């Protein structure tokens, strides 16, 4: 993983301690995950230069933001910051809010402004006042304003925390678009598995101010070493590329980085990069290959581990070629099939959530 920033941060307060070291990738989304009070927002504030009495070292693009003798002020760190609430100026139109961001940064670039307005689909909002916008619209404007500074790094602090499900679904496609189009790294704070599985490439997991896991999004969601594996809504993330299209049935075949082939809906352009999200609840197991099944994706696998067992369900980790999949099945089925470690099985993948044009 090529890196753009190296960070070692230490804070000691009467009620809280933060002690983390990590790297920021050159491109893509670095997710910061943790429950309330784990230190996610404090970490972001440290990167932004908004937290006082911070020890450690922060280097970004060969520039020292924090050192033994130096702490670069926030306004000199060349970052964009998107907060949980949009923080738009209520007395200014959307257009005036955007122009204010440009003037503050001194980075007025009309071509860049037009590009961001189109990318975030806010042209129709330019003459409106913030109080007439939905929560999702406000956040899209706030993101555009942050990016108009042309920052080296974009920080996003739970930008959908205040939105209901409808408005979250409205804004998520635009965040996915940012992932694919921006050439700067994004640090994205969240406590939502759905958000990080859709947006993030690398993950940091915090607990009580400590870094307890660091790795790719795939490892974060499927590794037995990750605290995210035991979540209620377990899901596997696989990166893949389109290898062929079947126009007769409106399907495409994709090949994962681990060498597995899946059929997905849609006629996709060959060699397009895609992200597959496969919920554990949509994977079932068979001891022998089913000959008559409506399921298109049936693959040979081997059980790696029994991750979690409750009174009614079992979470299993399987290897398919070099990919890792998860299956959440009933405890009764688990017992009746006599499933155990290293047993060969067939997985039936009933549902695949597809995202196109990944980095």
Q: Which domains does the chain have, with CATH numbers?
A: 3-231 (3.40.50.300), 236-356 (2.40.50.100)
pLDDT in tens, 327-354: 999 999 999 999 999 999 999 999 999 9
pLDDT band for 95, please (50, 70, 90 cuts).
very high
Strand partners, 317: 305, 326
Name, in order, each residue with C-beta under 8 angstroms of 166's C-beta and a sequence gap of 6 or more: none
pLDDT in tens, 50-71: 988 888 899 998 889 988 888 8
In this structure, are residues 105 and 150 in contact, taking their beta carbons and an 8 Å threshold? yes
Model pTM score: 0.91
State yes or no: pLDDT of 159 exceeds 70: yes
Q: Which of 138, 103, 104 is nearest to 122 (CA)?
A: 138
pLDDT in tens, 214-273: 999 999 999 999 999 977 789 999 999 999 999 999 999 999 999 999 999 999 999 999
State yes or no: pLDDT of 359 exceeds 60: no
For helices 110-119 and 135-147, angle between their N-to-C axes, nearest 10 degrees: 150
- Strand, helix or coil for residue 56: strand
Region 108-135 average pLDDT: 89
pLDDT band for 99, please (50, 70, 90 cuts).
confident
Q: Count other C-beta atoms under 10 Å from residue 44's C-beta.
A: 22
State yes or no: pLDDT of 107 exceeds 60: no
CA–chain centroid gap for 125, Å, is: 27
pLDDT band for 158, please (50, 70, 90 cuts).
very high
Name, in order, each residue with C-beta under 8 angstroms of 111's C-beta and a sequence gap of 6 or more: none
């Amino acid at each position: 993983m090529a890196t753009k920033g190296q960070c070692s941060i230490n804070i000691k307060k009467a009620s809280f301690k933060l002690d983390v070291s990590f790297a920021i990738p050159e491109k893509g989304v670095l997710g910061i995950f943790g429950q309330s009070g784990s230190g996610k927002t404090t970490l972001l504030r440290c990167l932004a230069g908004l937290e006082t009495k911070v020890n450690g070292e922060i280097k970004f693009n060969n520039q020292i933001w924090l050192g033994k003798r130096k702490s670069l002020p926030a306004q000199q760190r060349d970052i964009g910051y998107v907060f949980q609430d949009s923080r738009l100026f209520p007395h200014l139109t959307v257009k005036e809010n955007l122009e204010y961001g440009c003037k503050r940064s001194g980075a007025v670039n009309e071509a860049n402004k037009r590009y961001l307005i189109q990318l975030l689909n806010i042209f129709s909002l330019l003459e409106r006042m913030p109080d007439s916008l939905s929560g999702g619209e406000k956040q899209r404007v706030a993101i555009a304003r942050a990016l108009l500074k042309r920052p080296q790094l974009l920080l996003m602090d739970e930008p959908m925390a205040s939105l209901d499900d409808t408005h979250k679904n409205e804004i998520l496609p635009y965040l996915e678009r940012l992932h694919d189009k921006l050439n700067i790294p994004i640090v994205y704070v969240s406590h939502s598995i759905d958000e990080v599985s859709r947006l993030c490439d690398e993950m940091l997991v915090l607990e009580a101010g400590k870094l307890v896991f660091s790795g790719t999004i795939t490892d974060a969601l499927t590794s037995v070493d990750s605290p995210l594996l035991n979540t209620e809504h377990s899901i596997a993330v696989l990166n893949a590329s389109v290898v062929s299209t079947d126009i007769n049935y409106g399907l495409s075949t994709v090949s994962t980085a681990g060498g597995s082939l899946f059929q997905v809906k849609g006629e996709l352009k060959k060699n397009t990069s895609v992200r597959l999200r496969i919920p554990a609840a949509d994977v079932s197991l068979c001891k022998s290959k089913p000959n008559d099944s409506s399921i298109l994706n049936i693959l040979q696998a081997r059980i790696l581990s029994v991750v979690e067992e409750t009174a009614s369900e079992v979470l299993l980790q399987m290897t398919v070629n070099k990919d890792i999949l998860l299956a959440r099945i009933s405890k009764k089925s688990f017992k009746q099939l006599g499933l155990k470690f290293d047993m060969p099985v067939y997985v039936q993948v009933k549902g695949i959530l597809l995202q196109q044009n990944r980095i």
